[in-house]
Chain A
C-alpha cells in the first residue's frame, strides 16, 4: 500500500477551492471523492478533516453553502465558489507554483520512490 499523506491545513483549502472551480457547485461527498481520486488514492479524507475545512472556508466567505436536490434525488448541501473564493484560488495557486518550483530547483532531481 502506498504511503498515505497527511493533508496540510491550507493545502486542503486550496484543493477544495480548485475542485469547486473545476466541477462547479458540489456536495461534501463529491468534493471528498474528487480529491481522493485526483490524489490517486494517496489521500483519504475522513469527515472530521473535510467538514471543518469546508466550514472554515464558508466562515471566511470564500464559498457558500445551500441545500439542494442532488442528481439522484437526494437532498445534499452544495458548496459553491464565491468571487472572493475565485480570487483567492488564483493567488494561492500562483504562490503554490512558485514555492513548488523553488523547492524543486533546490532539491534537484527526484529520488526514486521505494
Chain B
C-alpha cells in the first residue's frame, strides 16, 4: 500500500484483545456474570470489589468504560464518580442501580456519567451500550493525539504561557511570574493562539485537558 493510501484509509480497529473495561461492584455474582457476558463480545473486563481497589489500580489502567455499581459499602458509586472527576478521568462510566431516582441520575450526569443501567438489565442492553462507550474511548484517544500534535508546534515560551493561561492567569500575572513585559506576553500569547488555531480561552483549556488523556 502506498503512503497516500495509508493516510486515506481509516485506522484499522484495534485487535479484540485490547478492548478493556472495568467492573466495580461489591456483589461477587454480578462481577462474575458481567465478566463472562462481556467476554462474549471480546471485552476483557477487570473486576474490582470496591471503589478503593479501583482507585488504587487507576494509575496503571488504560482508558476504558467502567461499569459502576451505585450502592456499595464505605465508598459508593457516586463518591467514586466524584473521585474520578477530581482526577480529570473522563472515561465513559455506566452506573448500575436498582432504580435510577431523578436526583441520583442528575447528580451522576453532572459528574459526567454516560448512562444508567437499571437492574436487572438484559444483556443486549449492556452489549449495545459498551459498543457506544468504546466509540467514545476511541474518539477521546484521537482528540488527545490531535491535541498533543498541536502542542508540539509551540515554542517553549509559548508553552509556558499556554500553561499559565490554562491555569486562569491574566497577562499581567503571567508577565510578573515570567519576568516579561506585558507587551511581550501579549505577543507570545497571540502567536500561541494562532498556532493552535484557537480563538477562545475555553478552546485552549479543552486542548490542554485533551492532551493529558
The yes or no verdict on A and B being binding partners is no
Question: Which residues of A are interface residues toward B (Cβ below 8 A)?
Answer: none
